[in-house]
Amino acid sequence: MAGFDFLGSLPAIVPEVGLTILAIIILFLDVYLPGERRRNIAWVTVLGLLLLAVTPLVWAPPADPASQLVWGGMVRHDTLAQIFRVMILLGAALTALMSIDTKAHGRQGEFYLILVVATLGACLVSAAADLVMVFLGLETLSIPLYILAAFRRDDLRSAESGMKYFLFGAFASALMLFGLSILYGFSGQTSIYALAEVLPAASGEAVLPVLAALTLVVVGFGFKIGAAPFHFWTPDMYEGAPTPVTAFVSVASKAASFALLVRFLIAVFPQSLVVGGHEIQAFWVSLAALMAVISMTLGNVLALSQRNIKRLLAYSSIAQAGYALIGVAAIQSQTEQGVASVGFYLFMYTFTNLLAFAVVVFFSEATGSETIADLAGLNRRSPWLALMMTIALLSLGGIPPTAGFFGKFFLFNAAVQADLTWLAIVGVLNAIVALYYYLIVIKVMYVDRSADEDQPIPLSRASGWALALPCLAVLLLGTVAAQPVFEWAVQGALALFQA
Amino acid sequence: MSELVLPVLSLIVFIPIVAAVIILFMNGERRDLVRGVAVTAALAVLLLSLAVYVGYNAQVAEVTVNQDALLASGSPMAGTQMFAEGLAYEEHYEWVPSLGIGFHVGIDGLSAPMVLLTGMVALAGVLVSWRIDDRTREFMAFFLLLVAGVFGVFVSLDMFTLFFFYELAIFPMYLLIATWGWVELRQYASMKLTLYILVGSVVALVGVIAMVLVADGFFRTAEGAAVLQQAMAAGIVSPGSTSFSFDMVNLTLAAEAGAFDVPGYGGVETLSFARLWFPFIFIGFGVLAGVFPFHNWSPDGHVAAPTAVSMIHAGVLMKLGAYAALRAGVQLLPEGAQVHLPWIVFLTLINVVYGAFIAFRQRDFKYVIGFSSVSHMGLVSMGFATMNVIGMTGAGLQMFSHGAMTALFFGCVGMVYDQAHTRDIPSLGGFIKRMPWVGLAFVIGGLTSMGMPGLSGFIAEYPIFTGMWAASEQITLQAGGLVLSNYYSVIVVLAALGIVITAAYVLRVTGQVFLGEFNATLYPDVGDITITDRVVLVLLGSPLLILGVLPGVMAPMITSGVGPVLAILGGA
């Protein structure tokens, strides 16, 4: 690397710089704004995050792969990072938007402050290109989320949720750190783009330790993305945490971890990597396929018997992680389809899940209930809430014209192209199981009667936006916007293979 | 190909969608306004689909002459060319070009009657739902979405677009049945129906993706690339087509060139792609057409659904399954059709006879019609299995005729039930005295369903049986050491028995429900039907008569539609 070019490197971290400034502004507002005007803190956060979501597009990554690795090789400013940053920032903005009118934390400055810091971590994760940055980013993302999960200190369930999340998260971090340290111990390298070349020689062609390191890292990621069999924290954490926090964890944290997972696997363990005569890629592809099958099946089957809508969405999110892992397994075909389909899937999943959780937030704010049975008659109480939930659930189930149809189609297409037709079949059959419990929820909202069905649920203007924006995104991604976003994801995928 | 400025087919698909969105934004209390918007949209699409039908009918003679010339030329891609040049009102926009997905719509001789049928049943459905007062807004919006999905499938010329609309149609149907259906059965029936149909279609979806991949591999070989180049130069496939494409014309080209017949698929010597996947794709879609033993959802679904949904479901959606099975199965996997249809024909026979028997045994008026649909749809698949021009034309006619007929039946059942509040056949009687219109319509439908000459049922069923007879000598079935030949003639005799049973149950129902003594103390309020209901009966009944007397308005068109399919079947 020729001399350090400060101004030339700056565009790579514009969102992170912006997020830091935004955090400081929120801190000041929190101190200075009097009680009745504190709602503005939330609006500042929302607008700030929306503004920052544009910056990765304005300061687009350089076309030349050689100049994408900046800040001493800490971050890689490429299209994949660009997509995931936009996704994460939009997700954070929508999370803030749905929090505005919540009684518990809608006017608490520190809630938004911590949210912004977690977003900062997620942005770093999606661009991390060095083992140090990988770990630093993941911790910057996770620690604020532990706090947010336990944000309602007076609520036992929230405290339990935070504690569980923290214990499992810390355990996962430790495992991952152990794996990373093995890799570093072999090679003396921390840059993930330099590891692949030196790994065979550095490990003395011993395949077992390399596989051990790989497994440890993948297990760590398995915890972060909530894939089975490392999903135990998800249902309790999702149920107990304040709902907007659950929403954020289910999308931003998952998306960032997936971005890092595909980057890490392709860069450190590429197809060309042969240690002791064994192709390492074949190993992690089967690992991903196995995790995909377990996650989809377990998540969907366990979701069938849930009574709490947040727990249902928790199990559904385990299954969704399983679908996305199909795309990871499809990387074996060495085409960009696998990664591109993962990118598109998470992009649409972000909006879909935020839409579903926004409905849960507004419903439980108005009624204080989170059980599925209490959703009865929602169509009569608030036609729009019911319709939005329906669209979100259909998108999760993969029914057109919502984004989920394209998301699943791209994934299954990638799997068939990668000669994993059996995995695609498992995927589509699982999608049917999932549709069963999504349809049950829809049925409850439209068909079942309840005693309060004549009491309308009022929606504030902020709530309206928090529903309309993701709904629009879901419908557009399911029709005309599928093409540009998928092309973008293809570009992002190609960037990984150009390293 | 006609050059038309107006994107008619897009309008037909998108008018219902736009109307549905408008309705969702309206005030739910203003029911008459909602109904007005819905009926306007339905009327507009009916007129457009009629215009499309008439417009295509004017070209049929020309298309047929062209097809004969192409067949005579003996070109290796004659079938594909016949298919491509038979298309009209085409629109082609890029959607996801990197995956070869386009929004490609158009109609040919097979889909034009289906579009017209959908238009008719859609308007009839809106009219027959006039008195629905519970959440009229939601009902009409979902109904129109369902209609849009159905139209979309029939006009799609891209396998992806076809799946998109196919799945789009399924969800509104679920909600319509679950919410506005018959209380005792609706939850069970709607879920069963949705899951059955979805399982079939997603398995077919994976098969189609695999098919596209095989075609891609073929077009990348030197031989395949030459075929693609040649087809592009001849203007058969759209210029700039890539090897990886979901476009039906491109896939047809690959099918005709034998890309799916290469043995050794999946490492098994005797297996080709077509042989392996044909049953999954054909029966996967066939689930929606009620193919035995996957017909189980259909009677329950039809009985549980509100009248309008029964009408569109039995009238149009079951044809959706048959149509997609024909397109994706027979047209794209001809070798698979030749191998597998000779045994699938047994399933269709069970459909015909068993369906009729069960219908005969029912006490519930609506179940009779539900099972009669299973029976009649078996004839459609049987027509496909003949793989000759007479039988397939008959199948196409049967799709249209049964669609109008069964929608008419369900309309009649709904009108009787609305006033009598029961569907128990033995406790009804003499209704023709109070509801002459309904009684007359039911008799017309019943005669059609028996295959009475002068009505469309005869025009449709006679060619199917003739086709079976004609095919009998050509088709042999080999399973292990067993060789069956000339057995289609036996099947056709047995299937004809189904018609006798049909006559029996139609006469029984007519006699017990409409004739006999009217019990005025039991049904004091039964009166004649409203004007909207009369429009429905006329709308659905008249095509049965017209087609019965003038088969020339549809038969040549369908023959021109099956021409390419048969050319590919013969060439495979």
The answer to whether A458 touches A346, Cβ cutoff 8 Å, is no
| Residue count of chain B | 572
Residue A160: C-alpha distances to residues A112, A155, A236 (Å): 21, 9, 8
CA distance B312 to chain A (A): 20
Q: Dihedral of CA B114/B116/B122/B127: which sign?
A: negative
User: From the list A416, A432, A442, which residue is nearest B175 (CB)?
Assistant: A442
3 state DSSP class of B314: helix
Q: Dihedral of CA B235/B238/B241/B244: which sign?
A: negative
Q: Report H helices in B221-306.
A: 222-233, 248-256, 273-286, 297-304
Cβ separation A401–B168 shorter than 8 A? yes
The answer to whether B403 touches B319, Cβ cutoff 8 Å, is yes
Are β-strands B482-485 and B476-479 bridged in parallel, bridged antiparallel, or unpaired? antiparallel
Tell me which chain B residues have a C-beta less than 8 angstroms from the C-beta of A326. none
Residue A249: C-alpha distances to residues A142, A335, A452, B452 (Å): 9, 30, 32, 66
pLDDT value at position A177?
94
Q: Which residues of B make CB contacts under 8 Å with A? A: 24, 28, 94-99, 135, 137-138, 160, 163-165, 167-168, 170-171, 174-175, 178-179, 186-187, 190-191, 194-195, 198-199, 202-203, 205-206, 209-210, 213
pLDDT value at position B572?
42
CA distance B516 to chain A (A): 39
Q: Which two tokens stand for residue A36?
A: 């009745």
Q: Which two tokens stand for residue A353?
A: 């899940």
Are β-strands B101-107 and B88-96 bridged in parallel, bridged antiparallel, or unpaired? antiparallel
User: From the list B28, B164, B179, which residue is nearest A405 (CB)?
Assistant: B164
Cβ separation B164–A400 shorter than 8 A? yes
Task: Give the confidence band of A448 by pLDDT, cuts at 50, 70, 90.
Answer: confident
Can you spell out the DSSP letters for B6-21?
S-HHHHHHHHHHHHHH
> pLDDT tens for residues A239-267?
999 999 999 999 999 999 999 999 999 98
CA distance B511 to chain A (A): 37
d(CA A268, CA B103): 40
For residue A282, what are the β-bridge partners?
Answer: none
- Output the average pLDDT for chain B: 88
pLDDT value at position B230?
87
- Alpha carbons within 13 angstroms on the beta-carbon side of residue A269 total 27
Cβ separation B209–A413 shorter than 8 A? yes
Cβ separation B95–A486 shorter than 8 A? no
* Phi-psi label, residue B229: left if phi above 0, alpha if psi -120 to 50, beta otherwise: alpha
User: From the list B24, B96, B190, which residue is nearest A483 (CB)?
Assistant: B96
pLDDT value at position A499?
61
Q: Position B554: which residue type?
A: M
Q: Is the peptide bond before A401 cis (omega within 30 degrees of 0)?
A: yes
- Provide the total of helices (H) and of strands (E) in chain B, helices listed first: 22, 4
Residue A18: C-alpha distances to residues A13, A61, A249 (Å): 8, 17, 21
d(CA B65, CA B75): 16
Residue A288: C-alpha distances to residues A94, A262, A284, A322, B150 (Å): 30, 11, 6, 9, 38
Top residue of B93, B146, B171 to mutate, by most chain A CBs within 10 Å, is B171
Q: Dihedral of CA B111/B117/B121/B123: which sign?
A: positive
Q: Which two tokens stand for residue A77?
A: 């400013």
CA distance A487 to chain B (A): 8
> If you measure CA to CA, which chain A residue comes closest to B244?
A417
CA distance B324 to chain A (A): 18
Are β-strands A69-70 and A278-279 bridged in parallel, bridged antiparallel, or unpaired? unpaired
Residue B151: C-alpha distances to residues B12, B27, B377 (Å): 7, 27, 20
d(CA B304, CA B306): 7
CA distance A333 to chain B (A): 13
Task: Spell out, as residue ranges, where chain B has pLDDT lower than 50.
Answer: 1-2, 572
Tell me which chain B residues have a C-beta less than 8 angstroms from the C-beta of A379. 135, 138
Can you spell out the DSSP letters for B322-360?
HHHIIIIIIIT-HHHHHHHHHHHHHHHHHHHHHHHHHHH
User: From the list A416, A443, A490, which residue is nearest B210 (CB)?
Assistant: A416
Tell me which chain B residues have a C-beta less than 8 angstroms from the C-beta of A409. 160, 163, 205
Q: Is the peptide bond before B543 cis (omega within 30 degrees of 0)?
A: no
Q: Which helix (H) or strand (E) holds B479?
A: strand B476-479
Over its C-alpha atoms, chain B yields an Rg (Å, rounded) of: 23
In which residue are the tokens 């945490």 written?
A241
ipTM of the complex: 0.89
The answer to whether B154 touches B170, Cβ cutoff 8 Å, is no
- Output the average pLDDT for chain A: 90
The answer for residues whose C-beta is within 8 angstroms of residue A356's C-beta and 6 or more apart is A313, A389, A392, A393, A396
- Looking at per-residue pLDDT, the higher value among A342 and A274 belongs to A342
Cα–Cα–Cα angle for B104, B110, B113, nearest 5°?
100
Return the closest-CA partner of residue B317 out of B395, B399, B248: B399
Q: CB count, 10 Å around CB of A195?
A: 21
Cβ separation A399–B167 shorter than 8 A? yes
Cβ separation A400–B203 shorter than 8 A? no
| DSSP tag of B425 | G
Q: Position B454: which residue type?
A: G
Cβ separation B206–A429 shorter than 8 A? no
Distance of CA A391 to the CA centre of its chain: 20
Return the closest-CA partner of residue B91 out of B149, B148, B144, B12: B12
Q: Is the peptide bond before A400 cis (omega within 30 degrees of 0)?
A: no
Task: Give the confidence band of A106 by pLDDT, cuts at 50, 70, 90.
Answer: confident
Q: Which residues of A make CB contacts under 8 Å with B? A: 379-380, 383, 387, 394, 399-401, 405, 409-410, 412-413, 416-417, 421, 424-425, 428-429, 431-432, 435-436, 439, 442-443, 446-447, 482-483, 486-487, 490
Tell me which chain A residues have a C-beta less than 8 angstroms from the C-beta of B178. 443, 446-447
Cα–Cα–Cα angle for B55, B58, B59, nearest 5°?
100
Cβ separation A487–B98 shorter than 8 A? yes
User: From the list A428, A439, A490, which residue is nearest B174 (CB)?
Assistant: A439
Over its C-alpha atoms, chain A yields an Rg (Å, rounded) of: 22
Q: Position B92: which residue type?
A: H
Cβ separation A400–B168 shorter than 8 A? yes
Q: Which helix (H) or strand (E) holds B422?
A: none
User: From the list A436, A446, A483, which residue is nearest B179 (CB)?
Assistant: A446
Q: Which helix (H) or strand (E) holds B452?
A: none
Top residue of B34, B167, B182 to mutate, by most chain A CBs within 10 Å, is B167
| DSSP tag of B296 | T
Top residue of A296, A348, A409 to mutate, by most chain B CBs within 10 Å, is A409
> If you measure CA to CA, which chain A residue comes closest to B182?
A447
> If you measure CA to CA, which chain B residue comes closest to A491?
B98
Burial A417-431 (b: 16+ CB within 10 A, else e): bbebbebbbbbbbbb
3 state DSSP class of B364: strand
Can you spell out the DSSP letters for A35-100?
GGGTHHHHHHHHHHHHHHHHHHHHTPPPS-GGGTEETTTTEE-SHHHHHHHHHHHHHHHHHHHHHT
Burial A224-234 (b: 16+ CB within 10 A, else e): bbbbbebbebb
> If you measure CA to CA, which chain A residue comes closest to B141?
A387
d(CA B180, CA B305): 7
Question: For residue B482, which phi and psi values (nearest 5 degrees)?
Answer: -80, 130
**Is the pLDDT reported for residue A320 higher than 50?**
yes
d(CA A32, CA A34): 6
Cβ separation A436–B195 shorter than 8 A? yes
> If you measure CA to CA, which chain A residue comes closest to B98?
A487
Cβ separation B170–A439 shorter than 8 A? no
Return the closest-CA partner of residue A442 out of B190, B233, B283, B519: B190
**Is the pLDDT reported for residue A1 higher than 50?**
no
> If you measure CA to CA, which chain B residue comes closest to A401?
B168
> If you measure CA to CA, which chain A residue comes closest to B198?
A432
d(CA B256, CA B251): 9
Q: Position A397: which residue type?
A: G
The domain segmentation of chain A, as residue ranges, is 6-497
Q: Which two tokens stand for residue B223?
A: 């031989």
3 state DSSP class of B309: helix
CA distance A474 to chain B (A): 15
Tell me which chain B residues have a C-beta less than 8 angstroms from the C-beta of A378. none
